[in-house]
Amino acid sequence: MMHNLKFLAAAAALVFACGCASERSGQFVPKVAFTFDDGVAEHYDTVAPILEKYGFRGTFNVIVDSVDRKKGSVTWAQLRDLDRRGHAIENHTLTHPNLAKMAESNDLAGVEREVTLSRDIIASNVGRAPTFVCYPFGAWNAATECAVRDSWQKPMCPCRRNFGEGYAPGDVTRYIEECIEKKQGIVDLMCHGVSANGGGWKPFATPEIFESYVKEVKELADRKLVKVVLYRDCEIY
């Protein structure tokens, strides 16, 4: 009898560790990734501390040529620190061009350079090679897919939803519920800026509103309706 109890306790612990103990037992639990594009300075100053306050980590897709150079961009020292704190640095190309248009005009060498040189520069500056390429403007085609995979990276799925400008309470909860309904396995919550003058595209009006958005996801995660992970870990869970 004692043996059986021990077995049951171990099995329960295992279910808990797997994150399968949804309040809707046995139901589909999507993986949610917070992603941040373009390497805006406030990703380091504001976004990362807010995510960490709720126990989350983010995926930061950087434009390699802008890092350390463009005003209002993150620095390599900051990206190394984010990596050390458990966040992920991924590849948003060298200069943020429309890769599909480049490929259509037969500039395949340019496409290759945009995804491979950026990969190498991230690897040498951060100490970890990126796993994913995030397509600028969500623009891709068969040739860009080949270039990304030939560089031993994977393309991020372009089915992402930007949150920021015009955000109202409940928006992200409703969106995730729609994704659960559709059995969408990976939910990419994209964001650029978190303050009106921070330089990001279509930003949240204030960091406080961004924090309320993170809190909404935290409530869903606490109820085990979603699991929040780095984008690169979505496929593992």
60 — phi, psi (to 5°)? -110, 115
Q: Which tokens is 186 given? A: 């990976």
Q: Which tokens is 201 given? A: 């595209």
**Residue linked to tokens 């941040």:** 36
In this complex, which beta carbon is closest to Zn ion, that of residue 37 or of residue 216?
37
Q: How many residues bind Zn ion (CB under 5 A)?
A: 3
Amino acid, res. 138: G
| DSSP notation for 19-67 | T---SSTT----EEEEEEES-BHHIIIIIHHHHHHTT---EEEE-GGGT
In this complex, which beta carbon is closest to Zn ion, that of residue 38 or of residue 211?
38
Q: Which tokens is 106 given? A: 């037969």
CB 141 within 8 A of CB 101: no
Span near Zn ion by CB under 5 A; candidates 9-17, 30-38, 142-150, 221-229? 30-38
Helices 207-222 and 171-181, axial angle in degrees (round to 10): 40
In this complex, which beta carbon is closest to Zn ion, that of residue 38 or of residue 42?
38
Q: Which tokens is 35 given? A: 């992603």
Looking at residues 60 to 99 of the shown chain, list those that interact with Zn ion (rule: CB under 5 A). none
Q: Residue 137 Cβ, how far from Zn ion at the closest point, in Å?
A: 7
Interface pattern 112-141 for Zn ion (x via CB under 5 A): ------------------------x-----
For Zn ion, the nearest residue by Cβ is 37
CB 33 within 8 A of CB 186: yes
CB 130 within 8 A of CB 170: no
Amino acid, res. 120: D
Q: Does residue 38 belong to the site contacting Zn ion (CB under 5 A)?
A: yes
The three-class DSSP label of residue 62 is strand
In this complex, which beta carbon is closest to Zn ion, that of residue 172 or of residue 191?
191
Q: Residue 65 Cβ, how far from Zn ion at the closest point, in Å?
A: 12
* H/E element, 191: strand 186-191
In this complex, which beta carbon is closest to Zn ion, that of residue 195 or of residue 221?
195
Q: Residue 39 Cβ, how far from Zn ion at the closest point, in Å?
A: 9
In this complex, which beta carbon is closest to Zn ion, that of residue 93 or of residue 125?
93
| DSSP notation for 163-181 | --TT--TTHHHHHHHHHHH
Span near Zn ion by CB under 5 A; candidates 7-15, 31-39, 98-106, 145-153? 31-39
Span near Zn ion by CB under 5 A; candidates 34-42, 76-84, 152-160, 224-232? 34-42
Q: Residue 162 Cβ, how far from Zn ion at the closest point, in Å?
A: 10
In this complex, which beta carbon is closest to Zn ion, that of residue 136 or of residue 198?
136
- The binding site for Zn ion (CB under 5 A) comprises 37-38, 136
